[in-house]
Structure 1
């Protein structure tokens, strides 16, 4: 890749990190006009900016409003880049994605959804504050391969377990691979509730989905 194209991708990444939605949208169009692979662009720009934004939040440099604004900039850029994806040739598995009941946080979920789409997964995002039964019903209706559950609150983490418990109660636990994530979520929790996978951030989550898809 030329130095000019790398510079353009870095400028797009900086626009997202700086929460500049208008600039991110304009630069995303320039990325496509420059002929840069949209899949590579999504994975590099979204993945790297998500890590940096998350680190700024952990360090106390960014707060929730920054996450929301950066998420808006990321969504705007991703929408432009996704318009150039050849989804027919890259379809892998179907994912039903949701933030669990009583949790209104969407930024992390949205980033994971973008990264999965860029990696060729078919993603059905149900939004936030979604009841466990609704998530399962949608997964059944779509004959999905994965159920992905986000929780940013310790008080809503039990709903991740509720989904798995309800799958067991319905006798369909083995039909879906369940992957969980979110700020307070850890591998120990995933092991405790019997989840199939856990991603500490968007980049790791995509690796988990790819690994589970190959099984």
Structure 2
């Protein structure tokens, strides 16, 4: 048992390293091996996410370019397509954890963080309505009324999106529907102070943390919507 655990720990470190190196073939090879040796699909996603966070930091430090971020996103999607991943998450699909309306706010066309969060939400049993990028406050309000989600996710990679996020929350207030949803913000620069200023219920700098928050909210509500 100990050897197996040590082996998985070694694999974990290697997978993170190869995600950082953007070596898709190696990541897929090691991901298959880890699953075969008993690693749980959700644990594997957490590990890939750790590597993705490192890629994000390298991008912020200007060591990586936008193309590298896109490559990391593609690797993430390829891992999700592995047979054992698909089988595991298809199995859980029948139990919907909740419904999330998601989009990158107006003035920002970055979709990598949003897409990773979407992928992790879906693999965790959430139904996601993805509005895409550069989404206006009016469209968020319109789609919130139309889809009646449990949670609204606002994504933004650029600092000016703070005001765009606040505009969305204010618009939901003006429409008289703000209290119907939990609102989560996703961005590397997000802090609790900014979250309070925007008027959201929570925030995450990391996709896997965001998913955990969404799960906690749904358990707290004690209702599953279709």
State the TM-score, normalizing by the size of structure 1. Answer: 0.83
* Cα distance per residue 1:152-184 (max 9 Å; x no partner): 112232221121111111111111111112133
Please say if 1:94 is aligned against 2:96. no
1:198 positional shift: 1.1
Moved more, 67-76 or 6-15: 6-15
Please say if 1:16 is aligned against 2:28. no
Assess, with a 3 A threshold, how the Cα gap between structure 1 residues 157 and 144 changes in structure 2: closer, same or farther.
Answer: same
1:112 positional shift: 1.9
1:55 positional shift: 3.2
Assess if the C-alpha contact under 8 Å between 2:97 and 2:215 holds in 1: no
Assess, with a 3 A threshold, how the Cα gap between structure 1 residues 213 and 12 changes in structure 2: closer, same or farther.
Answer: same
Of 153, 157, 160, the match for 2:162:
157
* Cα distance per residue 1:107-162 (max 9 Å; x no partner): 21122223323333222322222222223333333321011011111223222112
* Cα distance per residue 1:45-98 (max 9 Å; x no partner): 233213322333344433433222212212222233642212335421111111
Of 182, 202, 207, the match for 1:202:
207
What is the match of residue 182 of structure 2? 177
Moved more, 121-130 or 142-151: 121-130
Assess, with a 3 A threshold, how the Cα gap between structure 1 residues 116 and 53 changes in structure 2: closer, same or farther.
Answer: same
Assess if the C-alpha contact under 8 Å between 2:100 and 2:129 holds in 1: yes
Cα RMSD, aligned residues only: 2.6
For this pair of structures, how many residues does the alignment match? 214
What is the match of residue 62 of structure 1? 64
Unaligned 5+ segments in structure 1 are none
Moved more, 162-171 or 4-13: 4-13
What is the match of residue 223 of structure 2? none
**C-alpha distance in 2 between matches for 1:96 and 1:116:** 11
Assess if the C-alpha contact under 8 Å between 2:59 and 2:65 holds in 1: yes
Of 24, 48, 52, the match for 1:50:
52
Give the secondary structure class of the aligned counterpart of 1:83.
Answer: helix
Of 119, 122, 127, the match for 2:124:
119
Which of the pair has more CA radius of gyration?
Answer: 2
Assess if the C-alpha contact under 8 Å between 1:101 and 1:128 holds in 2: yes
Unaligned 5+ segments in structure 2 are 221-226
